[in-house]
Every structure is written in C-alpha cells, then in structure tokens.
Structure 1
C-alpha cells in the first residue's frame, strides 16, 4: 500500500497555496498598493496567521510551514463566501477573503 511521505505533502501543500495566491494573495496585494487601509488589514491578518501557526498548533516546529498554511486555509474554505471579482472589491472584502490573502502574505508570496 502506498503511504504518502512528507515530501508529497509538501508538494501538494505548495500547489494548493499557489492556487490560493492566484485567487486571493496576488489580487489583494495588487489592490493594496492603492489602498493603505487594505495594506494594513493584510498585515494584521498575516500576523494573526503567523501567531496561530506558531502558538496555536502543537508540534508546529516539526511540520512544514507550507503544510500548516495549506491545512489552515482548507479549513477556512469550508465556509465559502462570495468571490471577489476585481480590485475595487478588496476595499470591502470580508474577513475570510482578507484572512486568505493575509495567509498568502505570511507564506511570502509576492504580488504579481
């Protein structure tokens, strides 16, 4: 029987994070260049995600950060909301969209 190893989990997590970055991280970061309030909100969400991963998960130091972030985001997406369709929508983005974008910031993904 095939048992996935840590490297396979890492690859899968990174692919998942890249997808979320395309839908949330990059658009939010691009929109934040003209909206200081959005930039501040993203920074706050990124810091909150960092704290959750650093302080809220037992044995987090033994699990890849990408795997932790992907698992966190998958849990968030169980509660789906209305999609954001353009840069102007980020000014009124809800908590979930901002948290996903903040997690992308925490993961170190740049704006594209």
Structure 2
C-alpha cells in the first residue's frame, strides 16, 4: 500500500483529513497490532514520546495541525527514499520499520488529541 506524499499534502487537505487518511491506510492496523504485540506497543510509545519532544509539547497533547505537518514531512522524506506503507498481517508488524512505527505513533497521538 503506497501513500503518495502528494495525496497527503497539508496544503491541499485539512489536517484532520490528512490524519484520517493516514489512520485508514496504516494507523488502524498498526494500533490494533500494537494492542496485542507488546514489543510493537513499546516502540509506538517511544516514537510518540519522541514526536512530542520534537514538537515541543512534552506532557501536553500536540495539535492536529502540528501532527499533520510532521506526518506530511515524514512521508515526503520517506517516499523520496522509496518507502512504501507495508501490507502486514499481524505477525508482520513485529518487524515494522521505523517510519511505519513513527506513522502509527502519529495516528495514536492524533486519536488522543481528538479525545
């Protein structure tokens, strides 16, 4: 499953729309897998903490706009390097790459920001 960066351009979509699309494409499956794979859950949590630090919101919820902007930039760089969103079965999530885990973490942060 490929998520072209051009389809996730924050200038063309709302922050909410970008994050919703990302969640449908990778976040829902990744968060479900993290709920049953402790090592993935720990990785997602670590990435979420790193994103909060990078966005300067340690201890607070990042805004949807900040998360969408970060996701857009991450996807641009990753797709430029040939990254494509994986199509994992549950076992495949155990070895998920860093970009994929970071995007799942972004989806989890967006879920929390909307709660």
TM-score (norm 2): 0.71
Q: How does 1:1-112 map to 2 (within 5 A)?
A: 12-54=14-56, 65-78=63-76, 79-80=78-79, 81-86=83-88, 87-108=90-111
Offset at residue 90 of structure 1 (A): 1.4
Residue 19 of structure 1, CA deviation: 0.7
Aligned CA-pair RMSD: 1.9
Aligned structure 1 segments of 4 or more residues deviating by more than 3 angstroms: none
Q: How many residues align?
A: 92
In structure 2, what is the Cα distance between the partners aligned to 1:76 and 1:88?
25
Residue segments in structure 2 that go unaligned for 5+ positions in a row:
1-10
TM-score (structure 1 length as normaliser): 0.73
**Could you tell me how far apart the structure 1 residues matched to 2:50 and 2:111 are?**
15
Gaps of 5+ in 1: 1-8, 56-63
Q: CA deviation at 1:50?
A: 1.0
